[in-house]
Structure 1
Amino acid sequence: MAYKEVLRVEIQEVVRRWQAGASQRQIAEGTGLSRATVRKYLSAAVQEGIAPDGPAASEEQLSRLAGISRAGPRQVETPVEDSLAPWADQIYQWLTGDRLKVTRIQELLEARGCTVSYTSLRRFIRKRNWGRRSARTVRMADTDPGEVAEVDFGRLGMITDPATGKRRVVWALIIVLSYSRHCFVWPTHSQKLEDVIAGLEAAWAFFGGVPRYLVIDNFPAAVAGADPLHPRLTRGFLEYSQHRGFVADPARVRHPKDKPKVERSVSYVRERLFKGGDFQGLAHLRNEAQRWCLEVAGQRIHGTTRRKPLPVFQDEERHALLPWDGEPYEITHWRTAKVHPDHHVACQYALYSVPSSSCPPGQRVEIRLDSKLVRIYHRGKLVKAHQRQARGGRSTDPDDYPAELSAYTMKAPDRIKRSAALHGPAVGEFAERLFDDRHPWSKIRQGHKLIRLGDRYTPQRLDAACQRALAVDLIDVNRVERILVQALEQEAMPQLPLPIPAGRFARPGSVFALAAGGRS
């Protein structure tokens, strides 16, 4: 026969009828209890000092009488207890010190001559609270309206991309407001920072505001370092949270109870929205998800609050959210790079120059990218800004190179001419004559050598050597170098002989030409 617990009010009725003069048979018939049960409680009442003609039972006396039939597990001793008792210390050591599984402990005991079943051994361990205790749950206090929202990613399944005809995985970014339980679902193909921010921006537009705290999952686009006490957000997501005014609070890894309100929503969205549906691409799925949040999820009776989420949100929570301006957010990315020996940093498959004076090669810099600009920071200070380049592109500022390398690195005749003019007027004129050619690019190396000669032999000597070369119309850098090596630029120019005057009776050569086909 199944065990039936006697309620406190039934015990009180037994005592009341007994004091009113009813017999045990009458009390049993009137209360529906057996005579043995009535007899047991009346005997206990007498031991508690309750008399048939005395005052009514007190609260303390009734509490002690109710403890007689208190339900609980029966402590039944079995023969296995006697066989395992001598091994209790060894079992405890295996379980806590060596951290062995119960199945392995059963094998070790059997090898030592103590044969017990797995169930009996587990019961022996559980009775002494040596194993893992069952998890306890407590109900958390409800949050204020508009204070907290929880975010989680969940895999929905596969849909066909209408552009390519291929099947692709679809994820759902789910945002649940903790107070009203009103939710928003944003299907996406990836979990990059652009997709996360796009989903959150769509959620703020859907809710008409922003919550003050956002409990997020540890997806890489938002969390750079998952730590239970000091989580570290990515620079891009941290800037977004600062721009919108909410505080991001990452949940602990493998702790679904840190965000319980959204955790159960993943399977709910998958079962009620996605499975069995026919979606013509991602855009169609997003439209259907928004309609579903309003007409299905928002109008259901929530299992915990027993209220409809959408009316609660509209009446009590919408006005408590932070204002949302509706302006599109410019997504930024942060990268860390090392300055290369060529005074450039690589970012997103493009090269950008940095000033050699403040960021020499080997230094670490932080790079902030948006849709138009690339800003480079060194120790928190902005050192350079470039227009963003496409993959394989390069943005170089000649002034970022060291002064002694800028002329060489930039293959531009005009820049070489300006550098040569700084060594002297004759050097500048020599450079002008040098690049006065149909193919000035072919003279680039000679122009660089000309400037290096000024660094090696001083600008004064180079200017004198170029003046000497120009005097004889000698536009050759190698010959100018020979003048400097032999120190000929200081010698006086030799007097060239005067040209011989034309003869008085000299006749032109055409006079002696033969006419075609005969003598003249």
Structure 2
Amino acid sequence: MYLEIQQLKKLGLNKSQIARRLGISRNTVYKYINMTPEEFEDMLEHMEVRQKKLDCIKEKLITWLKQYPDISSAQIHDWIKERYPDLTVGESTVRCYVSQLRKEYSIPKIKVTRQYEAVEDLPMGQQMQVDFGQVTVRNTFHQPQKLWFMACVLSHSRYKFVYWLDRPFTTADVIQAHEQAFAFYGGLPQEIVYDQDHLILVSENGGDLIYTKEFANYLAYRSFKVYMCKKGDPESKGKVENVVGYVKKNFARHRTYYNLAQWSEDCLAWLERTGNGKVHQTTKKIPAEVFQQERLYLRPFQEQYFITQVKASITRVVRKDNTILYAGNRYSFPLGTYDDKGKRVGLKIQSDTLTIYDWETGEVLAQHAICHEKGKLIQNTNHKRDRSKGIQALMQQVAGRFPEPDQATLFLKEIYQRKQRYMRDQLQKIQEVMNKANPHSGVIGQALAYCLTYQLYSAAAFSDAVQHFMQQAQRQQAHHHEHQPEIKPTMLGHQSHSQVKAEIRDPQVYIRILEGESLCQKA
């Protein structure tokens, strides 16, 4: 490789040309192109003695490659991280090392390829294939301009037609493009092949195709047969797939955009000159000449379909998070728009505004400014859940149970400031405590005052305060009963007891007794 790089350098090729000629990266060319033979020899000597990081598990890697020839370097890198966590190595190092092992031990990577069978050309006038494409070109101000197109091709003659727009297609646009194609061909084919595009098909439904409303009406009017490709099988319409690529690379690339009318006119001229005027590489015939015979087999094309009443019908299915996907971004709806029945909505694009409406009723559900970035969530503020509404109502309800609701409201607001995420749990805890306490005991008011005084703002602190004052009240009540003299009722077992009168003595008698004089001695 070093010698080849030096030889091509002498021939005057630049670095990019050398990289393309040898199939190597430009970084590799930069590394060797100015290296002297002596420097190259020193590098080789250094490489011979250099120990590589993955040499310690080389035998294991060879085993994996032999056992699983189709394994990727990325998966091997993941296995190394899983089974050898102490071995730190980059993915590019693994890729180079595995590539070298495959060459050294002749373990090519197995590729599963799909087998195709050549088929005879379909009869004249039987089939047309349709597909959509998108290109980005430069306008007269050298600014990027996106363009969308629908390509059509008759399967037998390979006669092509392209319809252009400077905005995304709607169902009405698709119908209009069909009408223009039929007018261009001067007739209709028996069958049209489509990919599963949301502008045409709502659901495959196990073979019972469900079309969009407008396209179903159009299909009933024109009465052509539809062949819908299965998901993941674009090769079923390979002819038009080639046409899409041909339009992008041969017509649109490096062409300046002036306006849509000029662009469409230039495309028709290109079709006549090149797209339909050159020999086709497969049929070895000129499509325009073969089409002169095929047009006789097309069904008659009469008046154009009346589409002025067809509404723009870019449709989307509402996702579980009440959003839709459009142009790589998520656009929101009011909460409750989603249902589990696959609710569909329509989209209207006007300038830089995206209007989303109910597909059945036509009711406008949301409007958004179109975002030109990717991966963004565009959400109106009124589409967000008001998470504080339920909490505020519950706070008012709990505060109303306190003897002083104003003080309770202040207390609950302080808790909300500190524990907003757990406010519902806090309120439920406070309610449980209040349910257990005696509402007439006054402990609720005491506990509230205590928490406010000492700035204890939590349900746990309130619960502890209530428990404290309840225990205090119980102790006071028990102490009161201990000092209350016990009064025994008189036993009225005999009627004569009620007639007994106590003796009345002079108080001086009791004074003398207290002084120590015996009453018996006096007597």
User: Quick check: TM above 0.5?
Assistant: no
Name the structure with the higher helix share.
2
Larger relative CO (CA 8 A, sep 6+): 1 or 2? 2
Q: How does the TM-score come out when normalised to structure 2?
A: 0.41
Q: How does the TM-score come out when normalised to structure 1?
A: 0.41
